[in-house]
Amino acid sequence: MSAQTVTRRLTQADLAKLYQAGEKLVMFTCYDASFARLLDGAGIDCLLIGDSLGNVIQGHDTTLPVTVADIAYHTAAVKRGSDRAFILADMPFGSYQESPEQAFRNAVALMAAGAQMVKLEGGAEMAATVRFLVSRGIPVCGHLGLTPQSVHVLGGYKVQGKGEAAAQRLKEDALALQEAGATMIVLEAIPAALAAEVTAALHLITIGIGAGKDCSGQVMVVHDAFDIPPGRKAKFVRNFMDGASSLHDAACRAAAAVRDGSYPGPEHTYAG
């Protein structure tokens, strides 16, 4: 099976087959129908309606003000604009931490808006919630490492998993999420060697962002990859508009770079 040969909307089963076949998955954040259509046409596998919309769409300093209604609105727009890409939606801050029942109610709203899977941040402490959701028919993606909703606890947007103790905790968190039924985990801003270890130890899909090339796939914030906002970018960001003839060309270049292993390169990764 090749990702490019599937013309209908990809399913969780399709992603699993691509992963088992050793194909790198390509994920972009997406927030509207126009970009959804563009990215879909470039063969992007997964579109993530990220709470990063708080930063790049709404102009906030953090993702914390984003609501379930915001994510649902943008999820519906992305679903309408795409035909093929798998749709993944973020659970925003405060929408799932209180109880599994709260998480279920809000996840239902996102699934009704068009999501095929929801993503939540946190490790072993979220295992019961993940198990509750999965047992009730809601696929879950975890998120470890730099978790933007915990920015104030972490003291800023800093690399995570550095040092033996922190690395061990992250590995244990990943295993806990897998055992709870998560079928995908985003690994953000962690040492590349640690991401490779975690990926090798799991049988689920790992999606890296600032986590090296050994993850099962990569996710990019669309505005960063296309060099839309001004200012300093994170180390793991590559400007795919550089040398591209159009946004479509840039998206195709990004997908090709992930699939052939040339992105991320050593300059986009962190040491332990």
Which active-site residues does the annotation give? Answer: 188
Asked whether the beta carbons of 147 and 96 are under 8 A apart, the reply is: no
Tell me the chain's radius of gyration from C-alpha atoms.
17
Buried b or exposed e, range 66-75, using 16+ CB within 10 angstroms = bebebbbebb
Asked whether the beta carbons of 66 and 51 are under 8 A apart, the reply is: yes
**CA gap 213, 223 in Å, rounded:** 21
**Residue entry with tokens 């130890």:** 201
Query: DSSP for 234-265?
Result: -TT---TTTT-SSHHHHHHHHHHHHHHT-SS-
Buried b or exposed e, range 163-183, using 16+ CB within 10 angstroms = eeebbebbbebbbbbbebbbb
**CA gap 96, 100 in Å, rounded:** 7
Angle at 200 between CA 234 and CA 258, to 5 degrees: 45
Find the distance separating the first CA and the last CA of the chain, reported in whole Å: 35
* Helix ranges, the chain (H): 12-20, 33-41, 53-56, 68-81, 100-113, 127-134, 151-154, 164-180, 192-201, 222-225, 247-260
